Amino acid sequence: MRRKIVAGNWKMNGSRSLVKQLVSTMNSDLTGLDNGVEVVIIPPALYVSDVIETAERSIQVGVQNVACWESGAYTGEISAAMAGDLGCSYTLIGHSERRQLFGETDEQVAAKIDQAFSAGLTAILCVGETLEQRESGAAEAVVAEQIRAGLAGVADEQWQRIVVAYEPVWAIGTGKTATAEDAQAMHASIRKELAALGAPANDVSLLYGGSVKADNAAALFSQPDIDGGLIGGASLKADEFLSICRAVPREY
Ligand code: PEP
């Protein structure tokens, strides 16, 4: 059964006081939420413990990245096992900022997914095309290749620990959003690609990300293949993030 998920990626933003203020507001306001959405907060790794200590049970916590390796002499890296040890249940993998700013390759993405599995984490694999790729008509092919490269090694029950976030690079942090129809078309194509890889494609949650706000979330989340969102900037404001969580429809 696929889950409805709204995950907030704080990127390199926040402070201990933001954790207290935002997570406390979320704790009290989430109690009335009855649409079954799973809410995930993904703060900078240094604040994971603060979020876990402040969050009540209905909030899951994740990290924004994990190392390709299990442990060892990799100064500055954080392992998937460490994230699991702190109480995280999710990790982002292959966010476009990691791919573009830090040169993360498809091979590293696949290795990180393996590490996430070993640590019992659910991996949110981020995929998406650039504006140039969209304008040249290559968007679906680019995303399909990212899916194949990241997920070709996934088997059997491991699929339960995969979530895919479609985030067109041109929509991240820009205020531009894919139309609900374009996003739906890409999500349907991702589901086909997952099926071709042997996944139980109808059971894999697919999230949309890229300038999702309270006022566009409902249109996106009402699409049949969109199971929630990965939210950047808007996840740093409790009221906005809560409105986005509320925008997930109760039934598919
Ligand atoms: C993101 O960082 O994954 C993201 C979708 O950012 P924003 O919502 O700010 O576009």
The answer to whether the CB of 9 is under 6 A from ligand 1 is yes
Dihedral angle sign, alpha carbons of residues 46, 217, 25, 236:
positive
Do 37 and 231 touch, CB atoms closer than 8 A?
no
Q: Is 187 annotated as catalytic?
A: no
Q: Are 226 and 184 in contact (CB under 8 A)?
A: yes
Q: Residue 234 above 50 pLDDT? A: yes
Helix (H) or strand (E) holding 91: strand 90-93
Q: Give 8's pLDDT tier (boundaries 50, 70, 90).
A: very high
pLDDT band of residue 246 (cuts 50, 70, 90) is very high
Q: pLDDT of 43-66, one tens digit each?
A: 999 999 999 999 987 899 999 999
Q: Alpha-carbon distance 84 to 86, whole Å?
A: 5
Number of residues assigned to the chain: 252
- 153 vs 104: CA distance, rounded Å: 18
Distances (CA, A) of 141 to 15, 25, 186: 39, 41, 10
Are the beta carbons of 249 and 26 closer than 8 angstroms? no
Residue 251 has pLDDT above 80, yes or no: no
Four-point Cα dihedral 97, 94, 230, 32, nearest 10: -130
Hey, whose CA ends up nearest to atom 2 of ligand 1?
Answer: 232
Q: What is the mean pLDDT of residues 139-160?
A: 96
Q: What is the pLDDT of residue 138?
A: 97
SS3 content of the chain, % helix, strand, coil (to 5): 45, 15, 35
The pLDDT of residue 252 is above 60: no
Q: Which of 167, 187, 193, 240 is catalytic?
A: 167
231 lines ligand 1 (CB under 6 A): yes
What are the pLDDT digits (tens) for 95-134?
999 999 999 999 999 999 999 999 999 999 999 999 999 9
d(CA 220, CA 178): 9
Q: Which of 76, 79, 92 is nearest to 124 (CA)?
A: 92
- Please state the pTM of the whole predicted model: 0.97
Closest residue (by CA) to atom 1 of ligand 1?
Answer: 232
- What ligand 1 atom has the least distance to the C-alpha of 172? 10
pLDDT of residue 58: 87
Domains detected in the chain: 5-246 (3.20.20.70)
Mean pLDDT value of segment 174-191: 95
250: left (phi over 0), alpha (psi -120 to 50) or beta: alpha
**Is the distance from CB of 210 to CB of 167 less than 8 angstroms?**
yes
Euclidean distance between CA atoms 51 and 231, whole angstroms: 17
**193 catalytic residue (yes or no):** no
